[in-house]
Amino acid sequence: MKVLFLTTEDSTFWSHRLPLARAVKNEGAEVVIMTRAGEFLSRLEKQGFRVIPWTISRRSLNPLRELHSFLQVLWVYRLEEPDVVHHVALKPVVYGGLAVRLRGAPPSVNTVTGLGPVFTNSSFSMRILRRLLTSALKAVFGAQNCRVVLQNEDDQRQLVNHRVTVREKTALVQGFGVDTTNFLPLPEESSVPLVMLPARMLWEKGVREFVAAAEQLRKKTVPARMVLVGAPDLNNPGCIPEEQLRKWVDSGAVEWWGHHDNMPSVLCQAHIVCLPSYREGFPKVLLEAGACGRAVITTDVPGCRQAVSHEVNGLLVPPRDSKALGDAIERLLVDPVLRQRLAAKGRERAVKEFSCERIVGQIMHIYRGLLGEKWPWAEGTFLRGEMQGSGLVRS
Protein backbone atom coordinates (compact mmCIF):
# COMPACT_ATOMS: atom_id res chain seq x y z
CA MET A 1 0.00 0.00 0.00
CA LYS A 2 1.38 3.42 -1.00
CA VAL A 3 -0.05 6.74 0.21
CA LEU A 4 1.22 9.88 -1.54
CA PHE A 5 0.82 13.33 0.01
CA LEU A 6 0.98 16.41 -2.22
CA THR A 7 1.59 19.68 -0.38
CA THR A 8 3.39 22.94 -1.04
CA GLU A 9 5.73 23.31 1.95
CA ASP A 10 7.79 20.69 3.76
CA SER A 11 7.75 22.90 6.88
CA THR A 12 3.95 22.96 7.00
CA PHE A 13 3.76 19.22 6.49
CA TRP A 14 6.17 18.75 9.40
CA SER A 15 4.18 21.01 11.72
CA HIS A 16 0.65 19.95 10.68
CA ARG A 17 0.64 16.51 9.03
CA LEU A 18 3.41 14.57 10.75
CA PRO A 19 1.10 12.61 13.13
CA LEU A 20 -1.05 11.45 10.20
CA ALA A 21 1.96 10.37 8.13
CA ARG A 22 3.37 8.49 11.12
CA ALA A 23 0.06 6.72 11.70
CA VAL A 24 -0.13 5.61 8.06
CA LYS A 25 3.49 4.41 8.16
CA ASN A 26 2.92 2.56 11.44
CA GLU A 27 0.12 0.60 9.75
CA GLY A 28 2.65 -0.69 7.22
CA ALA A 29 2.07 1.62 4.24
CA GLU A 30 4.77 3.38 2.28
CA VAL A 31 4.49 7.15 2.71
CA VAL A 32 5.62 9.38 -0.17
CA ILE A 33 5.59 13.17 0.20
CA MET A 34 5.80 15.41 -2.85
CA THR A 35 6.57 18.93 -1.73
CA ARG A 36 8.88 21.89 -2.11
CA ALA A 37 12.12 20.65 -0.58
CA GLY A 38 13.37 23.01 2.11
CA GLU A 39 15.03 22.79 5.50
CA PHE A 40 12.67 20.02 6.69
CA LEU A 41 13.55 17.58 3.89
CA SER A 42 16.13 15.69 5.94
CA ARG A 43 13.85 15.58 8.99
CA LEU A 44 11.06 13.98 6.97
CA GLU A 45 13.45 11.44 5.46
CA LYS A 46 14.74 10.51 8.92
CA GLN A 47 11.14 9.67 9.83
CA GLY A 48 11.20 7.00 7.12
CA PHE A 49 9.23 8.93 4.50
CA ARG A 50 10.32 9.22 0.88
CA VAL A 51 10.31 12.85 -0.31
CA ILE A 52 9.96 13.87 -3.96
CA PRO A 53 11.03 17.51 -4.54
CA TRP A 54 8.37 19.65 -6.23
CA THR A 55 9.05 22.95 -8.00
CA ILE A 56 6.12 24.94 -6.64
CA SER A 57 5.49 28.46 -5.35
CA ARG A 58 2.31 29.38 -3.50
CA ARG A 59 2.71 32.98 -4.64
CA SER A 60 3.38 32.42 -8.33
CA LEU A 61 0.72 33.11 -10.98
CA ASN A 62 3.11 32.71 -13.93
CA PRO A 63 1.34 30.39 -16.43
CA LEU A 64 4.54 28.71 -17.66
CA ARG A 65 5.81 28.11 -14.16
CA GLU A 66 2.47 26.73 -13.07
CA LEU A 67 2.26 24.45 -16.10
CA HIS A 68 5.68 23.07 -15.21
CA SER A 69 4.54 22.40 -11.64
CA PHE A 70 1.45 20.60 -12.89
CA LEU A 71 3.39 18.44 -15.38
CA GLN A 72 5.70 17.39 -12.56
CA VAL A 73 2.71 16.11 -10.62
CA LEU A 74 1.31 14.30 -13.65
CA TRP A 75 4.65 12.60 -14.28
CA VAL A 76 5.14 11.54 -10.65
CA TYR A 77 1.62 10.10 -10.39
CA ARG A 78 2.31 8.05 -13.50
CA LEU A 79 5.62 6.74 -12.16
CA GLU A 80 4.59 6.12 -8.55
CA GLU A 81 1.09 4.68 -9.11
CA PRO A 82 0.00 5.35 -5.50
CA ASP A 83 -3.02 3.59 -4.04
CA VAL A 84 -4.41 6.83 -2.63
CA VAL A 85 -3.31 10.46 -2.89
CA HIS A 86 -3.93 13.16 -0.32
CA HIS A 87 -3.81 16.76 -1.56
CA VAL A 88 -3.45 19.49 1.08
CA ALA A 89 -4.27 23.18 0.29
CA LEU A 90 -5.63 24.78 -2.86
CA LYS A 91 -2.78 24.48 -5.37
CA PRO A 92 -2.08 20.82 -4.56
CA VAL A 93 -5.82 20.11 -4.69
CA VAL A 94 -6.09 21.64 -8.16
CA TYR A 95 -2.91 20.22 -9.69
CA GLY A 96 -3.16 16.84 -8.01
CA GLY A 97 -6.87 16.60 -8.69
CA LEU A 98 -6.48 17.40 -12.38
CA ALA A 99 -3.69 14.83 -12.64
CA VAL A 100 -6.02 12.24 -11.11
CA ARG A 101 -8.78 13.11 -13.59
CA LEU A 102 -6.41 12.77 -16.54
CA ARG A 103 -5.16 9.39 -15.33
CA GLY A 104 -8.53 8.06 -14.18
CA ALA A 105 -7.00 7.05 -10.83
CA PRO A 106 -6.18 6.81 -7.94
CA PRO A 107 -8.73 7.67 -5.22
CA SER A 108 -8.05 11.11 -3.75
CA VAL A 109 -8.57 13.00 -0.52
CA ASN A 110 -8.61 16.77 -1.01
CA THR A 111 -8.12 18.87 2.12
CA VAL A 112 -9.09 22.52 1.69
CA THR A 113 -7.35 24.26 4.58
CA GLY A 114 -9.23 27.52 4.06
CA LEU A 115 -10.52 29.41 1.07
CA GLY A 116 -8.00 32.19 1.60
CA PRO A 117 -7.56 35.57 -0.12
CA VAL A 118 -8.74 34.26 -3.49
CA PHE A 119 -12.22 33.94 -2.00
CA THR A 120 -12.07 36.80 0.52
CA ASN A 121 -10.31 39.53 -1.50
CA SER A 122 -12.67 41.56 -3.73
CA SER A 123 -10.03 43.06 -6.04
CA PHE A 124 -10.52 42.68 -9.80
CA SER A 125 -7.58 40.29 -10.21
CA MET A 126 -8.79 38.10 -7.35
CA ARG A 127 -12.33 37.98 -8.76
CA ILE A 128 -10.94 36.72 -12.08
CA LEU A 129 -8.74 34.20 -10.28
CA ARG A 130 -11.71 33.08 -8.19
CA ARG A 131 -13.70 32.24 -11.33
CA LEU A 132 -10.82 30.23 -12.75
CA LEU A 133 -10.24 28.44 -9.46
CA THR A 134 -13.93 27.63 -9.06
CA SER A 135 -14.02 26.04 -12.51
CA ALA A 136 -10.89 24.01 -11.77
CA LEU A 137 -12.26 22.81 -8.43
CA LYS A 138 -15.52 21.72 -10.05
CA ALA A 139 -13.51 19.55 -12.45
CA VAL A 140 -11.39 18.12 -9.65
CA PHE A 141 -14.27 17.34 -7.31
CA GLY A 142 -16.23 15.77 -10.15
CA ALA A 143 -14.03 12.68 -9.93
CA GLN A 144 -16.04 9.69 -8.80
CA ASN A 145 -13.68 8.34 -6.13
CA CYS A 146 -12.72 11.50 -4.25
CA ARG A 147 -13.52 13.17 -0.95
CA VAL A 148 -13.37 16.86 -0.08
CA VAL A 149 -12.21 17.49 3.48
CA LEU A 150 -13.21 20.88 4.86
CA GLN A 151 -12.29 22.35 8.22
CA ASN A 152 -15.36 24.43 8.99
CA GLU A 153 -19.04 24.59 8.10
CA ASP A 154 -18.77 28.01 6.40
CA ASP A 155 -16.33 26.73 3.78
CA GLN A 156 -18.45 23.62 3.25
CA ARG A 157 -21.59 25.72 2.78
CA GLN A 158 -19.86 28.10 0.35
CA LEU A 159 -18.52 25.33 -1.89
CA VAL A 160 -21.81 23.42 -1.89
CA ASN A 161 -23.97 26.52 -2.48
CA HIS A 162 -21.76 27.55 -5.42
CA ARG A 163 -22.05 23.98 -6.78
CA VAL A 164 -18.32 23.45 -6.62
CA THR A 165 -19.01 20.06 -5.05
CA VAL A 166 -21.90 18.06 -3.65
CA ARG A 167 -22.45 17.70 0.08
CA GLU A 168 -22.24 13.91 -0.08
CA LYS A 169 -18.59 14.09 -1.13
CA THR A 170 -17.59 16.37 1.74
CA ALA A 171 -16.42 15.60 5.26
CA LEU A 172 -15.79 18.03 8.08
CA VAL A 173 -12.55 17.41 9.97
CA GLN A 174 -11.79 20.20 12.40
CA GLY A 175 -8.19 21.09 11.82
CA PHE A 176 -5.03 19.02 12.03
CA GLY A 177 -5.19 18.10 15.68
CA VAL A 178 -3.03 19.15 18.62
CA ASP A 179 -0.58 17.01 20.57
CA THR A 180 -2.04 17.39 24.06
CA THR A 181 0.86 15.44 25.56
CA ASN A 182 3.32 18.05 24.28
CA PHE A 183 1.24 21.20 24.69
CA LEU A 184 0.64 21.16 28.44
CA PRO A 185 -0.78 23.81 30.79
CA LEU A 186 1.68 25.61 33.07
CA PRO A 187 0.95 28.32 35.65
CA GLU A 188 1.05 31.91 34.41
CA GLU A 189 4.28 33.76 35.15
CA SER A 190 3.89 36.44 37.83
CA SER A 191 5.28 39.23 35.70
CA VAL A 192 3.91 41.98 33.50
CA PRO A 193 1.06 40.28 31.57
CA LEU A 194 2.14 39.15 28.13
CA VAL A 195 -0.33 39.22 25.22
CA MET A 196 0.82 37.24 22.18
CA LEU A 197 -0.13 36.98 18.51
CA PRO A 198 1.56 33.80 17.18
CA ALA A 199 1.16 33.50 13.40
CA ARG A 200 2.83 34.09 10.09
CA MET A 201 3.31 37.82 9.69
CA LEU A 202 0.51 38.39 7.17
CA TRP A 203 -1.93 41.28 6.98
CA GLU A 204 -4.87 38.84 6.93
CA LYS A 205 -3.83 37.50 10.35
CA GLY A 206 -4.92 40.83 11.86
CA VAL A 207 -1.41 41.99 12.75
CA ARG A 208 -2.23 45.62 11.95
CA GLU A 209 -5.25 45.49 14.28
CA PHE A 210 -3.15 43.88 17.02
CA VAL A 211 -0.60 46.70 16.83
CA ALA A 212 -3.40 49.29 16.91
CA ALA A 213 -4.87 47.57 19.98
CA ALA A 214 -1.43 47.68 21.59
CA GLU A 215 -1.24 51.42 20.98
CA GLN A 216 -4.72 51.82 22.44
CA LEU A 217 -3.72 49.99 25.63
CA ARG A 218 -0.51 51.96 25.92
CA LYS A 219 -2.41 55.26 25.77
CA LYS A 220 -4.65 54.01 28.58
CA THR A 221 -1.54 52.96 30.54
CA VAL A 222 -2.76 49.37 30.79
CA PRO A 223 0.30 47.31 31.80
CA ALA A 224 0.98 44.64 29.18
CA ARG A 225 3.70 43.37 26.88
CA MET A 226 2.32 42.95 23.36
CA VAL A 227 4.31 40.38 21.39
CA LEU A 228 4.30 39.18 17.79
CA VAL A 229 5.66 35.67 17.25
CA GLY A 230 6.25 34.44 13.72
CA ALA A 231 8.14 35.17 10.53
CA PRO A 232 7.03 36.90 7.32
CA ASP A 233 5.79 34.42 4.71
CA LEU A 234 7.58 35.60 1.59
CA ASN A 235 5.60 33.23 -0.65
CA ASN A 236 2.28 34.80 0.38
CA PRO A 237 0.98 37.96 -1.34
CA GLY A 238 -0.20 39.23 2.05
CA CYS A 239 3.28 39.14 3.56
CA ILE A 240 4.10 42.05 5.89
CA PRO A 241 7.53 43.51 5.00
CA GLU A 242 10.17 43.13 7.68
CA GLU A 243 10.75 46.89 7.45
CA GLN A 244 7.17 47.50 8.63
CA LEU A 245 7.59 45.06 11.52
CA ARG A 246 10.77 46.88 12.57
CA LYS A 247 8.93 50.21 12.51
CA TRP A 248 6.28 48.87 14.87
CA VAL A 249 8.97 47.59 17.21
CA ASP A 250 10.84 50.90 17.11
CA SER A 251 7.62 52.74 17.98
CA GLY A 252 7.48 50.80 21.25
CA ALA A 253 4.00 49.40 20.57
CA VAL A 254 5.00 45.73 20.24
CA GLU A 255 7.84 43.27 20.50
CA TRP A 256 8.65 40.94 17.61
CA TRP A 257 10.23 37.62 18.53
CA GLY A 258 10.34 36.17 15.01
CA HIS A 259 10.05 32.44 14.29
CA HIS A 260 10.21 29.89 17.14
CA ASP A 261 10.26 26.10 16.91
CA ASN A 262 9.42 25.35 20.54
CA MET A 263 5.84 26.63 20.56
CA PRO A 264 4.73 24.84 23.77
CA SER A 265 7.34 26.83 25.70
CA VAL A 266 6.56 30.07 23.87
CA LEU A 267 2.78 29.86 24.35
CA CYS A 268 3.15 29.17 28.07
CA GLN A 269 4.93 32.51 28.46
CA ALA A 270 1.72 34.27 27.41
CA HIS A 271 -1.17 35.28 29.64
CA ILE A 272 -3.46 35.81 26.62
CA VAL A 273 -3.14 34.53 23.03
CA CYS A 274 -4.74 36.51 20.19
CA LEU A 275 -5.50 35.67 16.57
CA PRO A 276 -7.53 38.55 15.06
CA SER A 277 -7.60 36.86 11.64
CA TYR A 278 -9.89 37.81 8.74
CA ARG A 279 -10.66 34.17 7.92
CA GLU A 280 -9.20 30.74 8.68
CA GLY A 281 -9.67 27.11 7.81
CA PHE A 282 -9.26 25.89 11.38
CA PRO A 283 -6.47 27.71 13.25
CA LYS A 284 -4.12 25.22 14.89
CA VAL A 285 -2.48 27.83 17.10
CA LEU A 286 -5.75 28.50 18.95
CA LEU A 287 -6.00 24.80 19.78
CA GLU A 288 -2.38 24.75 20.92
CA ALA A 289 -2.97 27.79 23.12
CA GLY A 290 -6.02 26.13 24.62
CA ALA A 291 -4.06 22.93 25.26
CA CYS A 292 -1.47 25.07 27.08
CA GLY A 293 -4.21 26.44 29.31
CA ARG A 294 -4.21 29.95 27.90
CA ALA A 295 -7.25 32.18 27.33
CA VAL A 296 -7.65 33.20 23.71
CA ILE A 297 -9.17 36.10 21.81
CA THR A 298 -10.02 35.73 18.14
CA THR A 299 -12.43 37.05 15.53
CA ASP A 300 -15.99 36.00 14.76
CA VAL A 301 -15.11 34.66 11.30
CA PRO A 302 -15.13 31.22 9.63
CA GLY A 303 -12.67 28.84 11.22
CA CYS A 304 -12.03 30.93 14.31
CA ARG A 305 -15.57 30.72 15.61
CA GLN A 306 -15.49 26.94 15.25
CA ALA A 307 -12.37 26.76 17.44
CA VAL A 308 -13.57 29.28 20.03
CA SER A 309 -17.00 29.66 21.63
CA HIS A 310 -17.56 33.16 22.99
CA GLU A 311 -17.11 33.34 26.77
CA VAL A 312 -16.70 29.54 26.91
CA ASN A 313 -13.06 28.95 25.95
CA GLY A 314 -12.25 32.46 24.73
CA LEU A 315 -13.63 35.74 23.47
CA LEU A 316 -14.79 36.61 19.95
CA VAL A 317 -14.53 40.13 18.52
CA PRO A 318 -15.53 41.57 15.11
CA PRO A 319 -12.84 41.29 12.41
CA ARG A 320 -10.77 44.37 11.49
CA ASP A 321 -11.89 46.13 14.69
CA SER A 322 -8.84 47.14 16.70
CA LYS A 323 -10.90 48.94 19.37
CA ALA A 324 -13.01 45.85 20.11
CA LEU A 325 -9.82 43.78 20.19
CA GLY A 326 -8.17 46.20 22.62
CA ASP A 327 -11.26 46.24 24.85
CA ALA A 328 -11.33 42.41 24.95
CA ILE A 329 -7.65 42.25 25.84
CA GLU A 330 -8.14 44.79 28.62
CA ARG A 331 -11.12 42.84 29.94
CA LEU A 332 -9.06 39.66 30.34
CA LEU A 333 -6.08 41.53 31.75
CA VAL A 334 -8.11 43.03 34.60
CA ASP A 335 -10.14 39.88 35.28
CA PRO A 336 -7.80 36.95 36.05
CA VAL A 337 -10.70 34.80 37.27
CA LEU A 338 -12.40 34.99 33.87
CA ARG A 339 -9.07 34.43 32.17
CA GLN A 340 -8.44 31.24 34.14
CA ARG A 341 -11.96 29.95 33.56
CA LEU A 342 -11.64 30.37 29.79
CA ALA A 343 -8.17 28.80 29.87
CA ALA A 344 -9.38 25.72 31.73
CA LYS A 345 -12.20 25.20 29.24
CA GLY A 346 -9.74 25.60 26.38
CA ARG A 347 -7.64 22.77 27.72
CA GLU A 348 -10.72 20.61 28.17
CA ARG A 349 -11.89 21.15 24.59
CA ALA A 350 -8.41 20.51 23.19
CA VAL A 351 -8.26 17.12 24.89
CA LYS A 352 -11.84 16.03 24.15
CA GLU A 353 -12.43 17.46 20.67
CA PHE A 354 -9.18 18.41 18.94
CA SER A 355 -6.50 15.86 19.88
CA CYS A 356 -4.19 14.48 17.17
CA GLU A 357 -5.51 10.96 17.81
CA ARG A 358 -9.08 12.02 17.14
CA ILE A 359 -8.31 13.98 13.96
CA VAL A 360 -5.94 11.35 12.53
CA GLY A 361 -8.55 8.68 13.20
CA GLN A 362 -11.09 10.62 11.15
CA ILE A 363 -8.73 10.89 8.17
CA MET A 364 -7.82 7.19 8.35
CA HIS A 365 -11.53 6.42 8.30
CA ILE A 366 -11.87 8.42 5.07
CA TYR A 367 -8.99 6.47 3.49
CA ARG A 368 -10.70 3.19 4.30
CA GLY A 369 -14.01 4.45 2.92
CA LEU A 370 -12.34 5.24 -0.41
CA LEU A 371 -10.33 2.04 -0.72
CA GLY A 372 -12.77 -0.47 0.78
CA GLU A 373 -11.37 -4.00 0.79
CA LYS A 374 -8.11 -2.77 -0.75
CA TRP A 375 -7.33 -0.99 2.52
CA PRO A 376 -5.61 -3.83 4.45
CA TRP A 377 -6.05 -2.48 7.97
CA ALA A 378 -9.81 -2.49 8.43
CA GLU A 379 -9.42 -3.00 12.16
CA GLY A 380 -5.76 -2.06 12.67
CA THR A 381 -4.37 -1.23 16.07
CA PHE A 382 -4.49 2.49 15.44
CA LEU A 383 -8.06 2.44 14.19
CA ARG A 384 -9.28 0.20 17.00
CA GLY A 385 -7.94 2.66 19.53
CA GLU A 386 -9.12 5.83 17.90
CA MET A 387 -12.10 5.33 15.61
CA GLN A 388 -14.63 4.47 18.26
CA GLY A 389 -16.42 7.75 18.76
CA SER A 390 -14.07 9.66 16.46
CA GLY A 391 -17.19 11.28 15.06
CA LEU A 392 -16.46 11.83 11.40
CA VAL A 393 -18.96 14.55 10.57
CA ARG A 394 -20.89 14.12 7.37
CA SER A 395 -23.83 16.30 6.49
DSSP code per residue over 146-204: EEEEESSHHHHHHHHHTTSS-GGGEEE--SS-B-TTTS---PPPSSS-EEEEES-SBGG
* Residues 6+ positions from 349 with CB-CB distance below 8 Å: 290, 313
* Residues 6+ positions from 212 with CB-CB distance below 8 Å: 322, 325, 326
Q: Are 123 and 93 in contact (CB under 8 A)?
A: no
- Say whether both 250 and 339 belong to one domain: yes
- Is 188 among the domain residues? no
For residues 318 and 322, what is the distance between their CA atoms, to the nearest angstrom?
9
- Is 182 among the domain residues? no
- Say whether both 53 and 170 belong to one domain: yes
- Say whether both 340 and 203 belong to one domain: yes
* Residues 6+ positions from 98 with CB-CB distance below 8 Å: 70, 136, 139, 140
Query: In which order are the strands placed within the sheet that holds 225-229?
Result: 255-258, 225-229, 194-198, 272-275, 295-299, 314-317
Count the domains in the chain: 2
- Say whether both 316 and 372 belong to one domain: no
- Is 307 among the domain residues? yes
Q: Which domain holds residue 324?
A: 194-353
- Say whether both 171 and 213 belong to one domain: no
The CATH number of residue 247's host domain is 3.40.50.2000
- Say whether both 268 and 205 belong to one domain: yes
- Is 281 among the domain residues? yes
- Say whether both 29 and 155 belong to one domain: yes
pLDDT by residue for the chain (395 residues), tens digit each?
A: 899 999 999 999 998 999 999 999 998 899 999 999 888 999 999 999 999 999 988 777 788 999 999 999 999 999 999 999 999 998 999 999 999 999 877 999 999 987 766 666 667 777 787 788 888 999 999 888 999 999 988 889 889 988 999 999 999 998 889 999 999 999 998 889 999 999 999 999 999 999 999 999 999 999 999 999 999 998 888 899 999 999 999 999 999 999 998 999 999 999 999 999 998 989 999 999 999 999 999 999 999 999 999 999 999 999 999 999 999 999 999 999 999 999 999 999 999 999 999 999 999 999 999 987 666 654 444 444 443 333 333 22
- Say whether both 375 and 316 belong to one domain: no
- Say whether both 366 and 252 belong to one domain: no
Nearest to 154 by CA among 328, 307, 350, 352: 307
- Say whether both 217 and 87 belong to one domain: no
Helices 124-141, 90-103: inter-axial angle, 10-degree rounding: 40
- Say whether both 144 and 248 belong to one domain: no
Nearest to 112 by CA among 92, 138, 134: 92
- Is 268 among the domain residues? yes
- Is 186 among the domain residues? no
- Is 342 among the domain residues? yes
- Say whether both 291 and 345 belong to one domain: yes
